[in-house]
Chain A
């Protein structure tokens, strides 16, 4: 029995269809991340679940209850907003209490929950301050606390970390992850940051254009992207996507990309491949063997001129010119420093790591 399910959800604004016949089921205790670029409909989906927007058509259930036509406060949800949305004239304690007082809980229970949440999030010394007297990270904690005290089964997060600086974001990411591990709530989390998605989620739904492109664990999404959009969206630098032609002769299968032949005999095709089919091959930058090493069992070799290399501290990326576009590789920083623009290098790609997509449909083959 899924904790939250969306059935045939359609949302339109006038003539604009944002979501069309969308189905999604979230299991109890899951940390689901809705991931996608701006305007993909992920926040709309979250607001539909929260009840802040009305569905045009379809059904939403939480637990056993059909909540499609319930008021937000009756859905058994708590939400953390991108801008924190604290009540400016109330103290931290007042912010935490407001929802509980409104629902008519007894005083002792309210105090107990507020103390519990304050202790958990280490905001006890801040309880009598106003939001204006808090730093960004503290405000975010209060916002999370305001959701926690409601003691509901499902928590919604709408890009909660995007206003924090990089260091604080990493800390809060870990804290939210730890909260999920210890409290085992079901969480629906919206973000456009793939690092957040990959590190926190137990499941990711990648969305684009109002359609769920792929739904799976972070590993599934990363290792076996379902289509070209997911392949290009997840990973930094992005997966190299190159157009080629399939060459099938018996058990030997290869992709011809320009002058280069890439052996894909051990690729698990979903359907028997056709000789001469147009394909797009996806090669992750980090799967390439270090430039210069060309073992005999590599799937293919690329002899390519260096364009430029960039270092990001512990990591480095090198970009080569290939097939009229760039080919990105993750390399050792020490090696990146030695690569000179214009120099020609041979790089090899190992067997069993390539992703193949139908050039026509963009779907995984």
Chain B
């Protein structure tokens, strides 16, 4: 009899619930584990911060002070002499006009290739994601494959193609090659982003307007803010930091800043001017950093907020 009662009570759940052990929520305390994590993270941060510190202080030192050897010391007299030299007078090959030549080349490469690659891949992604395109699946698969082809493999054909187009050896050549090489990945990113736009919004737009371009400009483009920012950061960083494409397709007059920097630093005559090298490296690295800070603030949340249920 008692067996049956216990079984019934257990099924009823009353006993099980009441006898279950329960604990008050623990107060948040600093434990050994969280200290260990903090220490680890601090070491990681220092790993990057210390070299950066050395680069920055060295760039403001004079060569005399650098020769004293106190690597971590703050600059004795602060001087921007090295920065001035790197920007205005540093030699890249036989040109001694400083990094500013390369800087403006990089800008001239960056802007057209950004416009070209983003506008083309955006429209392609939009068409692939939201319109019925014949062979869309096959096309996507090919793009996917293309995204994995190493640049070195197609370098020579690209050189002969760009020279046929008469853009080899200029900033335009570099810009076009950047745009073309970025297309597969960018199209895939845009396509996946647009795929998340609810089909019903597209249906409504098709019934309202039906125009490919009007829907793109009025409905889809305003919803693309976030992904545009991501792509901008991705593209600006990769184009600005590129060396190989610049050195291959830039010729003598179209070399980007990174190529100038490399020439400046790998110079083999005389003593190594650490302060100038550090200043030149920082000059080259600053533009993408500025972009991060400016563009990152533009992130907004919830592109489809209010469009659909929930």
Contacts and interface: CB of A to CB of B under 8 A. Distances in A.
A83 B309 contact: yes
Given A81-B203, A82-B200, A131-B306, A87 B209 contact: no
B225 to A, nearest CB: 9
Contacts of B210: 71-74, 102
B204 A131 contact: no
Interface of B: 198, 200-201, 203-211, 214, 218-219, 222-223, 302-310
Interface string A79-94: 1011111111110000
A130 B200 contact: no
Contacts of B207: 50-52, 72-73, 77-79, 99
Interface in A129-147: 130-134, 136, 139, 146
Nearest to A138: B306
Residue among B201, B214, B309 with the highest chain A CB neighbour number at 10 A: B309
Interface in A240-291: none
Interface in A30-79: 50-52, 71-74, 77-79
A132 B302 contact: yes
B31 to A, nearest CB: 41
23 contacts: A50-B207, A73-B208, A73-B209, A74-B210, A81-B204, A82-B200, A83-B198, A83-B307, A85-B198, A85-B204, A86-B204, A87-B204, A88-B305, A88-B306, A88-B307, A89-B222, A89-B223, A98-B205, A99-B207, A102-B214, A130-B306, A133-B306, A134-B306
Contact of A85 (B211, B308, B310): B308
A265 to B, nearest CB: 52
Given A72-B206, A102-B209, A85 B305 contact: no
Contact of B209 (A50, A81, A98): A98
4 nearest A-B residue pairs (beta carbon): A132-B306, A131-B306, A99-B208, A102-B209
A85 B222 contact: no
A163 interface: yes
Contact of B223 (A72, A83, A88, A130): A88
A84 B309 contact: yes
Nearest to A88: B307
A35 B208 CA distance: 26
A79 B204 contact: yes
A98 B218 contact: yes
Nearest to B302: A132
Residue among A89, A90, A102 with the highest chain B CB neighbour number at 10 A: A89
A72 B211 CA distance: 11
A84 B219 contact: no
Nearest to A150: B208
Contact of A83 (B218, B222, B305, B308): B308
A86 B309 contact: no
B97 to A, nearest CB: 46
A73 B223 CA distance: 22
Nearest to A97: B208
A84 B206 contact: no
Contacts of A88: 201, 223, 303-307
Contacts of A83: 198, 200, 307-309
A73 B210 CA distance: 6
Nearest to A86: B307
B210 to A, nearest CB: 4
Nearest to A134: B306
Nearest to A79: B207
A146 B205 CA distance: 11
Contacts of A86: 201, 204, 306-308
A150 B304 CA distance: 24
Contacts of A132: 302, 305-306
A209 B82 CA distance: 80
Nearest to B207: A72
A274 to B, nearest CB: 52
Residue among A81, A88, A103 with the highest chain B CB neighbour number at 10 A: A88
A74 B208 CA distance: 10
Contacts of A73: 206-210
Residue among B204, B210, B303, B305 with the highest chain A CB neighbour number at 10 A: B204
A84 B209 contact: no
B300 to A, nearest CB: 11
A85 B218 contact: no
Nearest to B201: A85
Given A98-B208, A98-B209, A89 B219 contact: yes
Given A52-B203, A83-B200, A132-B306, 12 more contacts: A52-B206, A85-B198, A85-B308, A86-B308, A89-B222, A98-B209, A99-B209, A130-B305, A132-B305, A134-B306, A139-B306, A163-B309
Contacts of A79: 203-204, 207
Contacts of B204: 79, 81, 85-87, 146
B107 to A, nearest CB: 31
Contacts of B222: 89-90
A49 to B, nearest CB: 11
